[in-house]
Structure 1
Amino acid sequence: MKKELEDTQVALEASHKVIAGLTEIGLSMSKKIERMKVKKQKVRENHVECHQKFQARIGDWEEEPEEEPEEEEIEDIPLGEGEIDYE
Structure 2
Amino acid sequence: MVTLYVAGRKVDWADAGRVLADRAAFAERIELRDESGQVVNRLRSEFVAFDDDPDWVKAITPEAIERAKQEPGFTFEEVKKRLGWR
- TM-score, structure 2 normalization: 0.18
Which has a greater percent of strand?
2
Work out which of the two has the higher radius of gyration on C-alpha atoms and give 1 or 2.
Answer: 1
Q: Which has the higher helix share?
A: 1
Highest relative contact order (Cα 8 Å, sep 6+), 1 or 2? 2
TM-score by length of 1: 0.18
